[in-house]
Structure 1
Amino acid sequence: MRALQLVGDRDLRQVEIEEPGAPGAGEVTVRIEVVALNHIDVWGWRGMAFAKRKMPLTIGAEAAGIVEALGPGASGLVPGQRVSIYGARTCGLCRPCREGRDNLCEHVSGVHGFHLDGFACERVNLPARLLVPAPNGCDAVGAALAPVTFGTVEHMLFDNARLRPGETILVHAGGSGIGTAAIQLAKRHGATVITTVGSDAKIEPARALGADHVINYRSDRFEGVVRKLTKKKGVDVVFEHVGKDTFAGSMLCLKRGGRLVTCGSTSGVSTEVNLMMLFQQQLKLLGSFGCRMENMANAMTKMAEGMVAPVIDTRVDMDGIEVALKRMEGREVFGKIVLDMRQDVAQNAA
């Protein structure tokens, strides 16, 4: 079968690999439909893997597919069923796993597509416990975006920041994949949404998603605009994932007792924190990584009910993957780029 594999830094190739074979005990064979691209794919492509990994490595950390076969002891799924795939290989045995706090697994093996082989291939065998059934009304693209794009945001906004209706939130990089999800989820929850974007071309699309105020951070200092919009009170929550370039300004945007939740550092992993501001204003800085499988299920239910919808910049096949990664690296996208494996399967069969 065909797969996309990294063989070195910025060296990504289409290759033929062996079929996964019959699923083992507790496993399920999944035929991959859609892979959603993320910055973690860009990091891996650029060689920014923060742990040991072996090459060649199949890419793709976020995906959905159709159940084809069940191994001995696998339960809760049926052939033909669409599933969303949890992106990390957790143990399923430790206390956090047993309690449904999947992203705090004490013995996680790594993230698929970054440390372990990912999902940009035609079929894969996976533990049944890592598959979340998609409800009726949630299509392949929606299911593919549940593990990272929407699941991460659900975990950040509602598990960690505990966003409440009527509060005001600043969402950074509203044109990014998780930014577009955060605008929608926060707005549907009853929050006032302020967002930043990197160009005037992204202003109206961000407003169309529900943002109440949109700031082009390249032409305006976002912290000054936010203070003005909130009459110097500040926002209740900052949704941060940019990192070094925005972190200090994000803290200035918070009201007394406000919460900053962060899941990323695309502009740099280190920054300075004003400790006096932190304790005098009684701010809360919250780290968030990944999501729980319950977050994925909640996100797909909201998509199925029409509350939120994936924002797709571009659909590509295997031939378009490197151009897609370069566009993501240059922040030239609004929403998500998705790799439609159904096109590749059809071409391969022909």
Structure 2
Amino acid sequence: MRALTQVADRKLELREIDAPPPPAAGEVQVRVKAIALNHLDLWGFRGMAFAKRKLPLIAGVEGSGEIAAVGDGVTGFTAGDPVVMYGGLTCGTCKACREGRDNLCENIGGIMGFHIDGFARDLLNMPARLVIPVPKGVSFRDAACAPIAYGTVEHMLFDNAKLQPGETMLVQAGGSGIGTVAIKMAKAMGCTVITTVGDDVKAEKVKALGADHVINYRTERFETITRKLTGKKGVDVVFEHVGGEGFNGSLLVLKRGGRLVTCGSTAGPSITLNLMQLFQQQYKIFGSFGASMRNIADGLAKMAKGLTPVIDMEVPLAEYERGLERIESRQVFGKIIVHF
């Protein structure tokens, strides 16, 4: 079978490897149909893994497929069922796993496609407990965006920031994969959305998604405009995944007692924080990483009701690297899908 394998930093090879054996007890075998690209894929491609890993490594951190076979003792799945796969090899037995807080697993074996072999292959065996059914009517293309893009936004907005209908939210980098999802989810529940983008073309696209106010951060100060738009009160929530110099600006546009939730640092991982501002304004800052199985299922349910992902580009497996180049160029708007 085929497997897209990273053999060195910035070097991928499409290899022929042995197909997996029949699934063991408690496992299912999945035939991969699509994978969605993320910054994690780009970081892994560059060699920016956060923990030791061994190459060669099969790429792909987020994907969808169909059940090819089931192992002994597996119920609830049959051959042909569409599914998505959880991207962290969790233990399933620690306190966090037992409580459904999968992304806080105490004994996680790694992120698939980043630390350990991922989804960019024709077939793989997975523990059935880490496989989530896809609702009827959701395509493999759209479902591939559920484990990270939709799951991450669900966890950020509703588990952490606890976004409420009618609130005002600033979405940083609204043209990104998770940015577009955040805009659509917030608008679906009646929130006012202010968003930042890096060019005027993206500005028109996020307006079409329903964003109420769009700020080109390259030509305007988002802090000044956001404060004006809110009558100097500030926003209830900031959806932050950029970091760098803009992080303190994101704090500045929060109202007293406002909530900032962050899951990324694409513009830089280090900041200087004014602690007096933090406690005097009673800000709440949430670090968020990944998602739970429940978050992914909730995202799939929203897809089934019509809240589908924004797709920037679709490429075949052999052109996976072209998708990474698109992300690296920062021209991407929405998600990039790789088809099998």
Q: Which residue of structure 1 aligns with residue 282 of structure 2?
A: 282
Residue in structure 2 matched with residue 346 of structure 1 by the alignment? none
Query: How many residues are treated as equivalent by the alignment?
Result: 340
Tell me what 1:123 maps to.
Answer: 123
**Partner residue in 1 for 2:71:** 71
Q: Which residue of 2 is the match for residue 339 of structure 1?
A: 338
Structure 1 residue 161 corresponds to structure 2 residue 151: no
Matches within 5 A, 1:131-170: 131-170=131-170
Alpha-carbon shift at residue 319 of structure 1 (Å): 2.5
| TM-score normalized by the length of structure 2 | 0.99
Q: Does 1:299 align with 2:299?
A: yes
CA contact (8 A) 1:137 1:305 kept: no
| Amino acid in structure 2 at the alignment position of 1:87 | G
Q: Distance in 1 between matches of 2:75 and 2:271?
A: 46
Please give the secondary structure, in 2, of the residue aligned with 1:75: coil
Q: Which residue of 2 aligns with 1:322?
A: 321
Please give the per-residue CA displacement for 1:105-140, whole angstroms capped at 9, x wherever unaligned.
Answer: 111111000001000010110000000101112111
Question: Do 1:89 and 1:112's aligned partners in 2 also have CA atoms closer than 8 Å?
Answer: yes
Please state how far the C-alpha of 1:46 moved relative to its aligned partner.
Answer: 0.4
SS in structure 1 at match of 2:245: helix
1:78 counterpart SS class = coil
In structure 2, give the amino acid aligned to 1:109: G
Partner of 1:197: 197
SS in 2 for 1:244: coil
**RMSD of equivalent CA atoms:** 0.8
C-alpha separation between the residues in 2 aligned to 1:116 and 1:240? Answer: 28
5+ residue gaps, structure 1, are 342-350
**Does the 8 A contact of 1:11 with 1:45 survive in 2?**
yes
TM-score relative to the length of structure 1: 0.96
Q: Which amino acid aligns with 1:310?
A: P
Task: Measure the CA separation in 2 of the matches of 1:11 and 1:198.
Answer: 29
**Percentage of identical aligned residues:** 61
**Cα deviation, residue 59, structure 1:** 0.5
State the distance in 2 between where 1:76 and 1:271 align: 47
Superposed, which structure 2 residues align to 1:141-290 within 5 Å? 141-290=141-290
The separation in 2 between residues aligned to 1:170 and 1:273, in whole angstroms, is 20
Cα offsets for 1:300-327 (capped at 9, x unmatched): 1111111x11110000012222221112
Q: Distance in 2 between matches of 1:7 and 1:112?
A: 16
Question: Structure 1, residues 51-77: CA drift from partner, whole Å, max 9, x if none?
Answer: 011100001010010001001122221
Aligned to 1:347: none
What stretches of structure 2 of length at least 5 have no aligned partner? none
